[in-house]
Structure 1
Amino acid sequence: MAFTLDDKLVVAISSRALFDFEEENEVYEAGDSREYEALQRSRLHVPAKPGIAFSLIEKLLALNVDGERRVEVVILSRSDPISGLRAFSSCKEHGLVIERGVFTRGRSPFGYLEPLRASLFLSANSADVRDALAAGFPAATVVPRAPLAASRYPDEIRIAFDGDAVLFSDEAEQVFQAQGLPAFVEHEVGKKELPLMNGPLKPLLEALHKLQKLSHDTARMRIRTALVTARSAPAHERAIRTLMAWNIEIDEAMFLGGLDKGPFLGKFEPDFFFDDQISHCESARVVTATGHVPSGISNAS
């Protein structure tokens, strides 16, 4: 029987989001692709160091137990195929069971998300991420960060999400930016029983929720999710009711009313945090791996 991606959480990730290829990328960005390829060839036997999303991928792959593949990770990269050898050899060196990859030698790879049925695309290339979001795929641009201490939760996959323009549509955010906070609160209270429309990462949360139920029978790794939003009471109610309408449960919800998200994320210690606003990403990246979701009115320009 042919291998199928049905009923799997498929994560497509660029080699630079998975591994620390920043030095090599500087050569690539300088415009000399041949020099970049020569540098990667010279380092084929030098394992790359873990990158921003490495911990998340490592933990997600740990959900594959007892011969059952629940998560499939695919490297989706602008690198040339020979440079891809280094990515695969680095996976082997670090014990990551990643068997599939697509390498497009300078061309945007986002078109391959459709046959991959990807539930998430993580990349360091913001243009590719925008293209993926426009095509309807959950995606985020990894935000550079300093090295972090080891997590206190080696047996939990912890993922945190912003609400508006990430899990939910940016309907309410449009009201806030156009008319201010009082109008936003009035709008949300008046529509508290009307679920918000889907945001770009809703399919990812849905896939994680399905896996979360399965992982209760898996002692090796569990999933814990959190909503971390600038909303506060009474606007919190519509967010919770929307999740209820989706039949999705989250483990923690933080309604911060405009407080800096960084310290709260520092306590939750997610393996990854997703937000649509650069200012929140800048606060978050000093405490956790962070992905910018360039969607909604805050990213219209």
Structure 2
Amino acid sequence: MPVSLDGKLVVALSSRALFDLEEENAFFDAHGDDAYARFQLDRLEIPARPGVAYPLVKKLLAFNGADAHRVEVVILSRNDPVSGLRVFRSAEASGLELERGVFTRGRPPFRFLEPLGAHLFLSANSEDVRDALAAGFPAARVYSQSLVDAERHADEVRIAFDGDAVLFSDDSERLFQSDGLAAFQAHEKHHALNPLPPGPFKPLLAALHSLQQAAGSAVPMRIRTALVTARSAPAHERAIRTLMAWNVSVDEAMFLGGLDKGPFLREFEPDFFFDDQTRHCDSAAAAGPTGHVISGIANSEPR
């Protein structure tokens, strides 16, 4: 029977998302491709330090066991194959059971998301993230300066999402940008019973929901999700009703009405937070691993 990733949560991520390779990347920028490959080979036996996505990957892999393989993590990297040796060696030293990787030696890797059936792509490369989002895959640029603490709440993976332009489309955000807060609030109240169109990260939330349902009590790890949004009453109702219409749920919802998200995320302690606005990402990075979702009107390319 052919091997298939169908029915699994598939996370694809770059080497720099999983491990702290900022020093190595600086070496690449200074010395080029061939010197970089030799540099990585010389460090083959030196495990790379955990990177921004390390806590998330470690906890998601805990959903795998002798009874079932529920999560697949794939390295999808612009690195050359020789440098890929160190990535796999570092994963082995960290106890991460990774089997698959695609190394493209500088070429855009996003085209491999389709055959992988990826539910999430994390990268330090903005261009690759934009390409992945344009192709319809949930993707975010990791904030390399994020706080990383792989030891906290060891039995729970916590993931937080912004609303508009992340879980939901940015249609309402565009109205806010063009007509202001009062018009936005009136529009959302009037359309409270009409579900919002899905945003780029709806497939990931649905996949996480399915993973938790499939694992049940067989796995000690639990998934806890949160909606952390600048929406406030009365615009909150449409967001909640949209999730109900999708038949998915979040464990916590924070309707902050424009308050700084960082202090609230410090209390939630996410293993990853996704937002489309850099000011929120800057604040959130001090609370935990953060990814910039480069989509929607807030990230429109200047004409």
Cα distance, 1:152 vs. partner?
3.7
Aligned to 2:21: 21
Helix, strand or coil at the partner of 2:73: strand
Distance in 1, Cα, partners of 2:288 & 2:282: 10
8 Å CA contact 2:63–2:219 kept in 1: the answer is no
1:24-173 equivalences in 2 (<5 Å): 24-30=24-30, 32-145=32-145, 147-149=147-149, 151-173=151-173
Decide whether aligned partners of structure 1 residues 251 and 146 sit closer, same or farther in structure 2, where only a CA change above 3 A counts.
Answer: closer
Distance in 1, Cα, partners of 2:153 & 2:23: 30
Matched, 1:285 2:296: no
Distance in 2, Cα, partners of 1:162 & 1:151: 24
Decide whether aligned partners of structure 1 residues 148 and 140 sit closer, same or farther in structure 2, where only a CA change above 3 A counts.
Answer: closer
8 Å CA contact 1:281–1:290 kept in 2: the answer is yes
Cα distance, 1:146 vs. partner?
5.0
Aligned to 2:203: 203
Cα distance, 1:30 vs. partner?
3.0
Decide whether aligned partners of structure 1 residues 272 and 119 sit closer, same or farther in structure 2, where only a CA change above 3 A counts.
Answer: same
Cα distance, 1:214 vs. partner?
2.6
Distance in 2, Cα, partners of 1:19 & 1:48: 6
Distance in 2, Cα, partners of 1:147 & 1:208: 23
Cα distance, 1:249 vs. partner?
1.1
Distance in 2, Cα, partners of 1:83 & 1:69: 27
TM-score of the aligned structures, taking structure 2 as reference length: 0.97
Helix, strand or coil at the partner of 2:49: coil
Cα distance, 1:275 vs. partner?
0.2
Q: Please list the CA deviations of residues 36-61 of structure 1 after superposition, one character each: whole Å capped at 9, or x if unmatched.
A: 11111111111111101000000000
Letter of the structure 2 residue corresponding to residue 184 of structure 1:
F
Cα distance, 1:150 vs. partner?
5.3
Distance in 1, Cα, partners of 2:219 & 2:121: 27
Letter of the structure 2 residue corresponding to residue 289 of structure 1:
P
1:233-272 equivalences in 2 (<5 Å): 233-272=233-272
8 Å CA contact 2:169–2:199 kept in 1: the answer is yes
Q: Please list the CA deviations of residues 202-253 of structure 1 after superposition, one character each: whole Å capped at 9, or x if unmatched.
A: 0000000111223331342010100000000000000001001100011000
Cα distance, 1:112 vs. partner?
0.3
Aligned to 1:5: 5
Decide whether aligned partners of structure 1 residues 145 and 123 sit closer, same or farther in structure 2, where only a CA change above 3 A counts.
Answer: same
Cα distance, 1:29 vs. partner?
2.4
Distance in 2, Cα, partners of 1:229 & 1:159: 14
Letter of the structure 2 residue corresponding to residue 161 of structure 1:
F
Aligned to 1:191: 191
Instruction: Output the aligned Cα RMSD.
Output: 1.1
Aligned to 1:300: 300
8 Å CA contact 1:215–1:223 kept in 2: the answer is no
Aligned residue pairs total 301
Q: Which runs of 5+ in 1 are unaligned?
A: none
Aligned to 1:212: 212
Letter of the structure 1 residue corresponding to residue 129 of structure 2:
V
Q: Please list the CA deviations of residues 90-145 of structure 1 after superposition, one character each: whole Å capped at 9, or x if unmatched.
A: 11000000000000001111100000000000000010000000000110000122
Letter of the structure 2 residue corresponding to residue 142 of structure 1:
V
Letter of the structure 1 residue corresponding to residue 166 of structure 2:
V
Distance in 2, Cα, partners of 1:202 & 1:29: 35
Letter of the structure 2 residue corresponding to residue 228 of structure 1:
V
Helix, strand or coil at the partner of 2:157: strand
Decide whether aligned partners of structure 1 residues 152 and 18 sit closer, same or farther in structure 2, where only a CA change above 3 A counts.
Answer: closer
Distance in 1, Cα, partners of 2:64 & 2:95: 13
Helix, strand or coil at the partner of 1:203: helix
